[in-house]
Structure 1
Amino acid sequence: MHEIGVLMEVVKTVENFAQKNGVTKIQTLVLQIGELSSMIPRYIEACYPAAIDGTMLQETELKIEILPGNGICKECNKVFNLIENNNVCPKCTSKHWEILSGKEFMIKEIIAC
């Protein structure tokens, strides 16, 4: 489970941002996680309390937004969700596509008190 290590880096990043910008209390941290990323949202949620323990984020709420894993068909240019369509274009049934989104893992928002 690599999520704890990634979360610890997120905490460092947020703390550095807060320090540089004079933020003393953070209410909410919003992460965006793509459906196709290697991060598993339920593991992120499970590891979050351990990652923030003893940090300035200790009292923060975590919100996770899931970004769709979309691809574009190389045959017909249809944009479609890869997971919902089992990696097959719903328009022409081609299996030749390119990923457009869904591999992201980002800090979207830091909401200060």
Structure 2
Amino acid sequence: MHELGVVIEVVKTVEKVAVEQQLTKIDTVILQIGELSSMIPRYVEQCYPAAVDGTILEGTNLKIEVLPGNALCKECNKVFNLIQNNSKCPHCGSNDFEIISGREFFIKEIVAY
């Protein structure tokens, strides 16, 4: 499960931002995870309590926004969701496409109070 290592790096990054911005209380960390990324949101959620234990993020909330895995069909130039359509363009049936979104993993927002 590589999610734990990645979540620990997220915690380190958020801690660094908190110090730089002089944040004293953090309420929520919002992540964006593409549905085609190697990160599994459920595992990230499970790892989060262990990763924040003993840090300034202990007791904070984690919110995950899943970004769609979209592709551009090279045959008909239509955008479609790869997962919902089993990697096949629903407009023309082609499986020749370019992935345009869904591999992301971002810290979108740090909610402080």
TM range (shorter): over 0.9
Q: TM-score, normalised by structure 1?
A: 0.99
> Equivalent residue for 2:6?
6
Residue in structure 2 matched with residue 104 of structure 1 by the alignment: 104
Q: Secondary structure at the match of 2:109?
A: strand
Mark the runs of 5 or more structure 1 residues left unpaired by the alignment.
none
1:59 Cα deviation (Å)?
Answer: 1.3
- For 1:71-90, what aligned pairs fall within 5 Å after superposition? 71-90=71-90
Shift of 1:24: 1.0
How far, CA to CA, are the matches of 1:47 and 1:91 in structure 2? 39
Instruction: State the match for 1:15 in structure 2.
Output: 15
Pair 1:33-2:33 in alignment:
yes
Q: Report the equivalent of 1:62.
A: 62
SS in 2 for 1:98: strand
Task: Tell me, in whole angstroms, the C-alpha distance in 1 between the residues paired with 2:44 and 2:5.
Answer: 10
Stretches of 4+ aligned residues off by more than 4 angstroms: none
CA shift at 1:111, angstroms? 0.2
Please provide the CA RMSD for this pair. 0.4
- Measure how far apart 1:37 and its partner are: 0.2
1:45 aligns with 2:45: yes
Q: TM-score, normalised by structure 2?
A: 0.99
CA distance in 1, matches of 2:40, 2:12: 20
Whichever residue aligns with residue 17 of structure 1, its letter is: V
% of aligned pairs identical? 68
